[in-house]
């Protein structure tokens, strides 16, 4: 009862305080079914209510959610950066396109964050040749975004993995859905390994058609096992060799840039076809055919627009851009759409026309570009790449053709990087997180790799198991709340009002890490110190939105605050002691003393408890509190 009264008093105090705040209502859009967002949505609303901001949540299905983001029909909305290797340049460049959530946000901002100026700024940094100048410009861009407080950064997403100890050597990949199991060694038992991977759908459902030149429902992780690009994305954004063993860059006299790639020799595809420059050129001809460079197809990132020409010069593959474009190598690491497919998987082999029989998904049909040229999409014949694992088989659900019950991948004995120790990987479908955990504990599963497969609490519990290694990647992307709110002071209130650490610990099992900036520090050019710090600060939030209540609060000194806390603690202790003493007295009166009478040879008289007397003054005044007087008598009247 006492605790309930304290809670009610606290709630009443908050309500009274918020009555002196500026009343602001915010439209909070949440994707229905997104577990982590739903888990903390009410915590965010409660924190905002403390400072007078009323957030009303709308839970929307995927299509409605996307529409709200694109049209700007929101004040607050959960979002994520695109993560490695897309951050920061591809993500930021997308803000100036109408089908992205930030587009509506920028419409209300002055330069340099208005759409036109911002687009020019990002384009200029992308063509900057000097790395030092490039870093300085990125620091300016990130500082400008930070100063406008258009995001509430929440946490950095770390990719969890739970690996049985009969396997060793697994290290999380540097980007989401990068599961480098080729490095795993089997130290005990069968060389066949069962895995439940994190997918775009959370729990795995299907690998899709395994087409390297398409998008959903193709899964990143499986395409990444099968196909490779010229280069790959390494830790901290380092560009590493893949099918190209070395490369050089040169600024031409006409202002453009030339990239020359020296390709690996002796590499073969899973179907036995030879890898060479002609095959690379064929893949580029199909993926970057002019009609496919538009924003509705492959033109969502910068590379298609930057390319001017590509060709083979002997055994070397050469790319030319119209102007310097520093993200080119980084964008060649993307898992889609530019990974190298075997020539035998094109419908007419090495001579397949990119215009009449393009490798783009057949469901895309015929596409006409701005230049009037047309491509007809016919898809591919088979999944065949040069990666460490090859596709073997799939078992489709009896009632749902879009559901893979099991997909089997085999090691590539001809892999240029060395044959993996694992012979076969069986990817299994599970309906629920609970079934995944059950299979893991029973030994049916060897590993769970990726986010969205196990509940955060389950991962926490498994950290103490002797049977598994629980690993987490460095943050690969940041979860944020985008704020489409005109008043910057209200945006600052939101940022200062939310104490992220305890929320993440309570709702997400403490797996994720609180962040204070838009991008992970591991993203290229993003390890910068942005000021001022827009972190949790309730006093600042109150000062901004509840100036009257804050003025009253400011009259309290630190000493008064300390005394108040000590007084409250003393009051609680007094109540507890009173209850305890009353209980003992009642026992005494009932003839059931809790303790034997105290005697002491130095004290003649026995220590006694005086009768409890009701405070007549409290009774007469109608007080709801009965005062209790407790006296200890030693027999001497002083």
Q: Where are the domains of the chain?
A: 16-155+478-553, 159-227+389-473, 228-386, 557-597, 605-638
Separation between Cα atoms, residue 525 and residue 37, nearest integer Å? 28
Contacts of 496 (CB under 8 A, 6+ apart): 534, 535, 536, 537, 538, 540, 541, 544
DSSP reduced 3-state for 457: helix
Closest CA to 480 of 513, 515, 431, 444: 515
CB atoms within 10 A of CB 465: 14
SS3 content of the chain, % helix, strand, coil (to 5): 35, 20, 45
User: For residue 509, what pLDDT is reported?
Assistant: 82
Do the beta carbons of residue 330 and residue 524 sit within 8 Å? yes
Q: In the predicted model, what is the mean pLDDT of the chain? A: 87
d(C-alpha 177, C-alpha 450), whole Å: 7
- Top-level class of domain 228-386: alpha beta
Report pLDDT for 588.
Answer: 59
Q: What is the CATH number of domain 16-155+478-553?
A: 3.10.105
Lowest mean pLDDT among 543-557, 576-590, 607-621: 607-621
Tens digits of residue pLDDT in 497-511: 999 999 999 998 888
pLDDT at 618: 41
Mean pLDDT over 125-133 rounds to 96
pLDDT at 616: 42
- Report the C-alpha gap between 560 and 169 in whole angstroms: 57
Quote the CATH superfamily of domain 159-227+389-473.
Answer: Periplasmic binding protein-like II (3.40.190.10)
In the predicted model, is pLDDT for residue 139 greater than 70?
yes
Q: Range with the lowest mean pLDDT among 117-121, 405-409, 590-594?
A: 590-594
Q: Are strands 477-483 and 151-157 parallel, antiparallel or unpaired?
A: antiparallel
Strands (E), 238-369: 239-241, 244-251, 257-263, 307-313, 316-321, 366-368
**223's tokens:** 């395409």
- Express each pLDDT in 585-601 by its tens digit: 565 566 655 544 444 44
pLDDT at 571 over 60: no
- Give CA angle at 323 (322, 324), nearest 5°: 135
How far from the centroid of its chain's Cα atoms is residue 351's Cα? 43
pLDDT exceeds 50 at position 622: no
3-class DSSP assignment, residue 312 = strand
State pLDDT tens for residues 451-475.
Answer: 999 999 899 999 999 999 999 999 9
How many angstroms separate the CA atoms of 484 and 495, rounded? 13
Binning pLDDT at 50, 70 and 90, where does residue 575 land? Answer: low
Q: Is 262 exposed, middle or buried (0-12, 13-18, 19+ CB in 10 A)?
A: middle
Q: What is the mean pLDDT of residues 305-319?
A: 97
**Tokens representing residue 309 in the block:** 């020409």
pLDDT for position 4: 32
Look up residue 121 and give its two tokens: 């700024």
Q: Give residue 36's pLDDT.
A: 84
- How far apart are alpha carbons 13 and 568 in whole angstroms? 15
Peptide bond preceding 492: is omega within 30 degrees of 0, i.e. cis? no
Query: Which pLDDT score is estimated for 552?
Result: 40
Output the pLDDT for position 577.
Answer: 64
pLDDT at 89 over 80: yes
Q: What is the DSSP string of 87-111?
A: TTHHHHHGGGSTTSHHHHHHTTPPT
Burial group, residue 281, by CB count within 10 angstroms (0-12, 13-18, 19+):
middle
Six token digits for residue 288: 């970057």
* Residue 528 confidence (pLDDT): 96
The mean-pLDDT minimum among 14-18, 71-75, 213-217, 276-280 falls in: 14-18
CA torsion through residues 98, 104, 108, 114, sign = negative
Examine domains 16-155+478-553 and 228-386 and report if their fold is the same.
Answer: no
Please state, in angstroms and rounded to a whole number, the distance separating the CA atoms of residues 45 and 30: 12
Q: Are strands 160-164 and 447-449 parallel, antiparallel or unpaired?
A: antiparallel
Residue 511 and residue 516: Cα distance in Å, rounded?
17
């Amino acid at each position: 009862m006492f605790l309930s009264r304290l809670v009610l008093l606290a709630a009443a105090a908050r309500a009274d305080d918020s009555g002196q705040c500026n009343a602001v209502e915010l439209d909070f859009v949440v994707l229905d079914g997104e577990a982590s967002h739903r888990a903390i949505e009410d915590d965010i609303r409660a924190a905002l209510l403390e400072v007078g901001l009323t957030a009303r949540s709308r839970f929307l299905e995927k299509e409605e959610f996307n529409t709200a983001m694109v049209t700007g029909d929101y004040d607050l909305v959960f979002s994520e950066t695109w993560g490695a290797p897309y951050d920061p340049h591809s993500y930021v460049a997308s803000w100036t396109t109408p089908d992205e959530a930030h587009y509506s946000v920028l419409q209300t901002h002055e330069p340099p964050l208005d759409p036109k100026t911002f687009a020019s700024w990002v384009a200029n940094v992308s063509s900057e040749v000097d790395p030092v100048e490039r870093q300085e410009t990125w620091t300016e861009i990130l500082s400008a975004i930070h100063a406008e407080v258009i995001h509430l950064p929440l946490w950095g997403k770390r990719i969890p993995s739970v690996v049985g100890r009969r396997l060793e050597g697994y290290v999380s990949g540097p980007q989401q859905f990068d599961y480098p199991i080729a490095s795993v060694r089997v130290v005990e038992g069968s060389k066949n390994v069962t895995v439940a991977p994190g997918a775009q759908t959370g729990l795995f459902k299907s690998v899709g058609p395994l087409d390297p030149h398409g998008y959903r429902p193709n899964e990143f992780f499986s395409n990444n096992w099968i196909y490779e690009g010229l280069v790959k994305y390494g830790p901290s954004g380092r560009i590493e060799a893949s099918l190209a063993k070395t490369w050089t860059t040169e600024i031409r006299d006409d202002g453009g840039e030339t990239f020359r790639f020296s390709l690996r020799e002796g590499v073969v595809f899973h179907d036995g076809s030879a890898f060479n420059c002609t095959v690379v050129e064929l893949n580029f001809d199909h993926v970057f055919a002019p009609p496919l460079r538009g924003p509705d197809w492959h033109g969502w990132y910068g590379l298609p627009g930057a390319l001017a020409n590509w060709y083979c010069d002997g055994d070397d593959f050469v790319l030319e851009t119209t102007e310097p474009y520093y993200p080119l190598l980084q964008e060649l690491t993307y898992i889609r759409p530019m990974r190298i497919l075997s020539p035998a998987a094109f419908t007419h082999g090495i001579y397949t026309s990119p215009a009449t029989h393009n490798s783009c998904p057949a469901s895309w049909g015929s596409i006409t570009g701005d230049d009037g040229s047309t491509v007809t999409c016919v898809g591919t014949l088979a999944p065949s790449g040069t990666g460490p694992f090859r596709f073997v088989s799939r078992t489709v659900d009896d009632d749902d053709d879009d559901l893979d019950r099991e997909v089997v991948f085999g090691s590539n004995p001809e892999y240029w990087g060395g044959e993996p120790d694992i012979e076969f990987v069986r990817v299994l479908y599970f309906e629920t997180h609970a079934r995944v955990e059950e299979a893991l504990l029973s030994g049916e599963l060897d590993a769970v790799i990726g986010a969205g497969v196990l509940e955060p609490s389950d991962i926490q519990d498994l950290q103490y198991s002797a049977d598994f290694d629980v690993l987490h990647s460095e943050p690969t992307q940041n979860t944020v709340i985008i704020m489409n709110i005109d008043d910057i002071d209200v945006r600052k209130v939101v940022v200062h009002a939310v104490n992220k650490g305890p929320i993440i610990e309570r709702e997400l099992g403490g797996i994720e890490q609180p962040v204070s900036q838009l991008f992970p520090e591991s993203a290229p050019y993003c390890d910068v110190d942005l000021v001022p710090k827009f972190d949790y600060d309730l006093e600042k939030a109150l000062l901004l939105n509840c100036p009257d209540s804050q003025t009253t609060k400011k009259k309290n000194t630190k000493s008064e605050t300390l005394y108040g806390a000590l007084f409250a603690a003393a009051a609680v202790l007094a109540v507890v002691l009173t209850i305890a003493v009353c209980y003992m007295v009642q026992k005494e009166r009932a003839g059931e003393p809790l303790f034997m009478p105290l005697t002491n040879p130095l004290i003649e008289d026995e220590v006694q408890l005086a009768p409890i007397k009701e405070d007549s003054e409290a009774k007469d005044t109608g007080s709801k509190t009965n005062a209790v007087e407790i006296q200890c008598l030693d027999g001497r009247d002083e």
